[in-house]
Amino acid sequence: MDVASLISISRRVRAHILRISAIAKAPHVGSALSCADILVALYFHAARVGPDLADDPQRDIVILSKGHGSAALYSVLAERGYFAAVTLDTYCADGSALPEHPSRECVPGVEVTTGSLGHGLGVGIGMAVAAKLASSSRHVYVVLSDGECNEGSVWEAAMWAPGQRLANVTAIIDFNKFQATGPSTRITALEPLAEKWRSFGWDTTEIDGHDYGQLIHALTSPRREHPRAIVAHTIMGKGVSFMEGDLEWHYRPPSAADLARALEEVARS
Amino acid sequence: MRDAFFDELTRLGEHDSRVMFLTGDLGYKLWDVFAARCPGRFLNMGVSEANMVSVAAGLALSGMRPITYSIVPFATIRCLEQIRNDVCSMRLPVLIVGVGGGYAYGANGPTHHGVDDVAAMRTLSGMTIFCPCDPLETRAALRAVQELDGPCYLRLGRNKEPNLTRPEESFTPGLPNLLRRGQRVALLAVGPIASQALAAAQLLTRRGVDPAVWSVHTVKPIDGLVACMDEHRYEHVFVIEEHGPCGGLAEALAVEWADRVIRPIVTRVAAPDEHLRTVGSQQYMWGLAGIDSQAVFRRVTQRLDHD
């Protein structure tokens, strides 16, 4: 899909994220906005996925290991046709199929339960091992957050995978520079982040995580026999000027006034 | 029991290409035959138990039937959240194997003692727990796991456990195995500590007590056990566990019967609620922990005399 179309989809995805976060008074809108483009690039271009492939054992797998970005995942899945967009507005509501952190198969397209950080990479690597054993063409994509890289289990997985020569795994780190209670580069010595992945044996690149040209290139360039890590520099709250780079929007649900302003900005972008 | 496990594992692996074995860098050379006969299905995960379980979950999501393996506390408590979220929450057919239940690694010290694993595993939703008493039950339990479709925990002893059951006896998941007939009093043993229960039973016959001895190889679920016990209508049930006092079978059983008017008196014979820093062989630790045959004999006679 061409970049202009992807950008157009991303506008709709951002509108959904803002609207459902406001309705649900749900937190994490900034975290959802920062990974929106990564997910659009995966579901609409790089990954072999789609509602018609739901039962295809060779389908690619996308795991949102940073499960708190669920508003983005659900919005992208709805736009991709996995379920009716009207369901989105039930996000976090009583009896909803859409919990604030995704449960496996809560709606079609959700492959793995996430929400506790640090699990998705290991699970994804397990799926990649099985795929390689079956000589499947399946590729596994795992989207992590920068704060998530505080979890030791991420590094257990990162240290083990290269030794298995798994070329069918891609980790994308949504490096939006914030975590729950402060800047992610100050809470731990996170930087140099790309260098850490590279030193663990991952074929690592750094990109602008909101630039579709760079996203597509990083996701689709030829593979070597190593797992791939893409450190995607992103902006917390990307797409809404008064949310961008502001830690408060990790938690704060948009009010009706916030929503109106935000939607207007997204439409104009 | 460990050798029986690996032998049975190899047999299963040869018949079912979905079976995979993952170790946290433990069991040196024990998997060689499995790895040779099941190429690509042996994974050394290194000393990374959390990752071992997450990877197992990923394998299970892809249709495989993975088995994880480490010493009891490392296989369970170390990576409890991964078992909870990646395996149990998604209801995946992953078998968690812990070697060295109780004090089988006695001299290695408290970090290696399996005294809280059963309790931890019991709290996890959908988990089936097998604590076989001997090599024969170990093989049967492993075969039983293959017929199940959800998370399982298999607690092994270590080595040189004698067979307490006979090959021709059936193993039914959920139902205890009768090791010795008796009446009025039953000794329910969880795992290889059953040898101590049997020895205690011999001592007790000299006091005019004729206890039944059961191997409770399935510790979760226990509805089958409860129904079986109800049929026998024992007056006294002694639960002998090579495990701390909290959260084990004794507590589980007592709660099941708590609201009944007529019920057996449940007495728990378990290790103390502390890490035993004085160490020794498993036999020595049984004595120290108050769960060897002498201790069982004393607890039963004290209780019956009191009655």
Q: Answer whether residue B66 shows pLDDT above 80.
A: yes
Taking any CB pair shorter than 8 Å as contact, residues of chain A touching chain B are 57, 103-104, 111-113, 115-116, 118-119, 121-131, 133-134, 152-153, 156-157, 159-160
How big is the CA angle at B133 (ends B128 and B137), to the nearest 5 degrees? 70
Closest CA to A240 of A232, A248, A228: A248
d(CA A185, CA B244) in angstroms, rounded, equals 43
Cβ–Cβ gap B48/A160 under 8 Å: yes
Question: Which residues of chain A have a CB within 8 Å of the CB of B61?
Answer: 111-112, 123, 126-127, 130
d(CA B93, CA B88) in angstroms, rounded, equals 9
Q: Smallest Cβ distance to A126: which of B41, B46, B59?
A: B59
DSSP B127-194: -EEE--SSHHHHHHHHHHHHT--S-EEEE---S-PPP-S-TTS---TTSPEEEE--SSEEEEEEGGGH
Q: Answer whether residue B126 shows pLDDT above 90.
A: yes
Give the chain A residue whose CA is nearest to the CA of B46. Answer: A160
- Tell the residue number behind the tokens 């209670």, with chain if given: A181
CA distance B152 to chain A (A): 18
Cβ–Cβ gap A113/B89 under 8 Å: yes
Q: What are residue B302's phi and psi, to 5 degrees? A: -60, -45
Q: Smallest Cβ distance to A157: which of B54, B81, B89?
A: B54
**pLDDT digits 0-9 by tens, A45-74:** 999 999 999 999 999 999 999 999 999 999
pLDDT at A218: 98
Global ipTM:
0.98
Mutant choice from B43, B53, B59, B62 vs A, greatest count of A C-beta within 10 A:
B62
Cβ–Cβ gap A160/B85 under 8 Å: no
CA distance B288 to chain A (A): 37
Span A164-168, average pLDDT? 96
0.95 surpassed by pTM: yes
Question: Which residues of chain A have a CB within 8 Å of the CB of B35?
Answer: none
pLDDT at B223: 97
**pLDDT digits 0-9 by tens, B151-166:** 999 999 999 999 999 9
Mutant choice from A129, A144, A155 vs B, greatest count of B C-beta within 10 A:
A129
Contact between B108 and B166 under an 8 Å Cβ cutoff? The reply is: no
pLDDT at B218: 98
Q: Answer whether residue B307 shows pLDDT above 80.
A: no
Looking at every residue in chain A, the average pLDDT score rounds to 97
Question: Which residues of chain A have a CB within 8 Å of the CB of B94?
Answer: none
Cβ contacts below 8 Å, chain A against chain B, sum to 90
pLDDT at B306: 85
By CB atoms closer than 10 A (0-12, 13-18, 19+), residue A37 is: buried
